[in-house]
Amino acid sequence: MNYIQTEIDGVWVIEPKVFNDARGYFMESFKEEEFCKNVGSVHFVQDNESKSSFGVLRGLHYQKGEFSQAKLVRVIKGRVLDVAVDLRKSSPTFGRYVSVELSEDNKRQFFIPRGFVHGFLVLSDEAIFTYKVDNAYAPQAEASIRYNDETIGVDWPVAPEQMLLSPKDMNGLPFSEAEYFD
């Protein structure tokens, strides 16, 4: 696998080696020893999967405090724009975001460490999104930041009137009211 450090420390794009032939393809999607050598030791405890249609925006989500989660995300069908926003108050990139297109074709993965807000927007007719997390979901610690917060300024490539958001995501907090990490 090829590990690419993004402009925000701790956030990685991971490109697997894909072996194609007449039958289809084969790839290793996760290899703990290699991951730890390149990114660091992360103990994943849960895998999640979602299916969404074009224009669905899930995010920007995070879990507060001790319930924070690191995530390793990928798309197995379709195409999304995936976004990670730095909520680490002591970071030189605090409040900045990095985005990457993940698709069934490029097979890229995106590693987002603890201390970040995460979200994705579906760019294809349908997308199946899967991710590993290093901490179980804790509903009492869940929080959302507005997808269109001007302080963050994510450049979403779909018009707002074409987006589908849950009520929770439509009513996310402004960045200025978020609970930050140290």
The CATH topology of domain 45-177 is Jelly Rolls (2.60.120)
Question: What average pLDDT is seen over the chain?
Answer: 96
pLDDT of residue 182: 84
Q: Please return the burial class of 38, using the count of CB atoms within 10 Å of its CB with bins 0-12, 13-18 and 19+.
A: middle
Q: Where along the chain do its domains lie?
A: 45-177
**CA atoms of 18 and 29, how far apart (whole Å):** 10
Q: How far is CA 16 from the centre of its chain?
A: 17
Gyration radius (Cα) of the chain, Å: 16
What is the structure's pLDDT at 71? Answer: 98
Q: Which residues does the annotation mark as catalytic?
A: 61, 131
Q: What is the pLDDT of residue 163?
A: 97
pLDDT confidence band for 81 (50 / 70 / 90): very high
Mean pLDDT, rounded, for 94-118: 97
Q: Is 43 helix (H, G, I), strand (E, B) or coil?
A: coil
Question: Tens digits of per-residue pLDDT, 27-38?
Answer: 999 999 999 999
Give the tens place of pLDDT for each residue, 117-136.
Answer: 999 999 999 999 999 999 99
Is a pLDDT exceeding 90 seen at residue 143?
yes
